[in-house]
Chains A and B, each alone.
Chain A
């Protein structure tokens, strides 16, 4: 793999730069439990153990410019199985945070920019969003037993406020129906906010703390504005 084809010059590495990271990476006993638990291990030579090793070695430039940290899906299995309790997802997120923002892989970078500007990763205008919700709502109302179904947008004082993953109002609208029908059948008081409804937080995913806070703050604002009691944040 290109990342480590070059001879590692141990004398030139400054391990102290990364040693202060609080993810226990130096405890690695190279057992490989993380590698075998990882669902994307082997893709383009990726292996969580290699990330831990590179950080531990202090290979700062190599790891930040490497493609490997971006292959990880942040599922957290590795951390679960690690006998030395190394926080591998935290470590990978830290590595991602070290990359210049305009070098973050395209879709993530663009999606997050759009979300900050428009409230969702797709840049979907508010009227289009509401139209899609109502359209899905009408489809449900055609089913027997759901004749009175409507989508409660911006309802004040609901028991549950739910965020929406952008793909559910894009390509996967049918996936909205299952839980909405459960809400209806359970006579639940629920609502969907008309603005800043985006459920994903690519600030979290790309290691961008500042923009992660903005995205999270918007959800909190929605909760306050609509006086909702509970938050359902499936992402």
Chain B
């Protein structure tokens, strides 16, 4: 089957991605929220007409069923619905800009304008010759009250340079910390300095900005080098803008069931997730849809998206691969817990409840949450690993008591830090430490924890990824709430709740791993052997 990819968007990001895909022989469908003319659009952007790119202009994506390699998408144009069978999806919408007049306490006027307005004037898109008059004193306000953004900073410096050099204006830039880390920004900064653009940094004391009724502006700020106040009354003020997610993004996130960050972008700061990936397999966020840091990332994201799409099969995988969730056919009571909680949207509701094997990431959150324990792993799972652990009984607390610690380690973080620790500090690890590596801490069920105690473990420790770093978004949160739940039950049962412990850890924290397990061992030495272990017959 051929691979067919859908792109949502119509700006630079969508165009670069469409070009990468079509250059690699992938069928592409582009859905644009606004009206575009196919022939002109392709001629102007991809610079050829016979691309094989199908364009839905002035259209809306209203539903998405299925999973990677086999999505069914409904697109609505002119009140008519069309259906497309799609292998993968790239969300490639542009930024929405919001002017910052309000945060600087300014009202827009002929001499107080936004960054977009000066860009339009310079690019000749608007007739604003008054803005480009020679000799004007121009003040740019950028990043004074919030972090500067590399995309905006690039535009501020580019326009400042043009005004100073080409239009012979006198440019001042009032800024917070100038983040010149993006590609080419430091060079641009030097060019502006060379041309005579003047910068003042205001980090310690916010500037006082006053606008008179006639529109003129006076800014008083603290020159942080000279520790002295400075006053400037510019002829023109250019106010920076904030980059917000496209207005389409929220609807797209809803249709495709994608996680958004606090400001609405489609990728959270997740160290385990590679660029362009979202919480769903086969659905990617490229460019400004995931808040890229600089304009070069448009091209990188387009290329990365094409690489991912080229690896799709264009059809469902028939064989049952190992390490996925599988729902018991007969037992399932259709409570839909799994459907509701799956962070990767890999549960299928058609007749009976099944798992989209292609989309399943094998985190096991559904397995641990299924109230009847009717979901299992294909191939060996956590319970099989627990089977292999043998614990021998022990008498009352003696001097040679060695606590048995079973550590459930998320393979992406704690598993890695354990392996490094075992390699480098083997002798510093507790003698009774037993490791159970799990695909995600969210897959550790209350049953797993309790059965480990039943086997005679003196202590159980759950080592999960740090908050916000879970590859499955919420696995570490599930682990935390289950641990708290089990602890309260242990207290009721008269079993020391200190025998269960949870810590978050990262893959590069091997010394912390050693510290954490040793501290836990110390605590267990104080409590002594578990009552269950004391009653075990020595085998």
Contacts and interface: CB of A to CB of B under 8 A. Distances in A.
Interface stretch (A46-54, A103-111, A141-149, A223-231): A46-54
Contacts of A11: 137, 231-233
Contacts of B220: 7
A187 interface: no
A85 B367 CA distance: 62
Given A30-B201, A50-B225, A53-B225, A8 B230 contact: yes
A41 B247 CA distance: 54
A235 interface: no
A26 B228 contact: no
Contacts of B233: 11
B522 interface: no
Nearest to A9: B231
Contact of B225 (A5, A15, A16, A49): A49
B193 to A, nearest CB: 5
B376 to A, nearest CB: 60
Contacts of A56: 198
B172 A10 contact: yes
- Specify the main secondary structure of chain B where it touches its partner: strand
B225 A8 contact: no
Interface in B205-255: 220, 223-233
A215 to B, nearest CB: 35
A149 B193 CA distance: 61
A26 B229 contact: no
B201 A10 contact: no
B232 A4 contact: no
Contacts of A49: 225
A19 B193 CA distance: 11
B315 interface: no
A50 B194 CA distance: 19
A27 B194 CA distance: 7
A213 to B, nearest CB: 32
B196 A15 contact: yes
B196 A8 contact: no
A50 B196 contact: no
B232 A26 contact: no
Pick from A9, A19, A26, A54 the residue with the most CB of B within 10 Å: A26
Contacts of A10: 172, 230-232
A53 B226 CA distance: 8
A6 B225 contact: no
Nearest to B137: A11
A49 B225 CA distance: 7
Nearest to A53: B225
A7 B201 contact: no
A53 B223 contact: yes
A54 B190 CA distance: 19
Interface in A51-87: 53-54, 56-57
A27 B196 contact: no
Contacts of A19: 196
A72 B133 CA distance: 42
A4 B228 contact: yes
A57 B226 CA distance: 11
Nearest to B170: A15
B87 to A, nearest CB: 49
Given A27-B190, A53-B225, A8 B231 contact: yes
Interface string A1-43: 0001111111100011001000000110010000000000000
Nearest to B219: A10
Nearest to A26: B193
Contacts of A6: 228
B193 A8 contact: no
B226 A54 contact: yes
Contacts of B190: 27
Given A9-B230, A19-B196, A50-B225, 14 more contacts: A4-B223, A8-B228, A8-B229, A9-B231, A11-B231, A15-B198, A16-B196, A26-B193, A27-B193, A27-B194, A54-B226, A56-B198, A57-B198, A57-B223
16 contacts: A4-B226, A4-B227, A4-B228, A7-B228, A7-B229, A7-B231, A8-B228, A8-B231, A10-B232, A11-B137, A15-B170, A19-B196, A26-B194, A27-B194, A50-B225, A56-B198
Interface of B: 137, 170, 172, 190, 193-194, 196, 198, 201, 220, 223-233
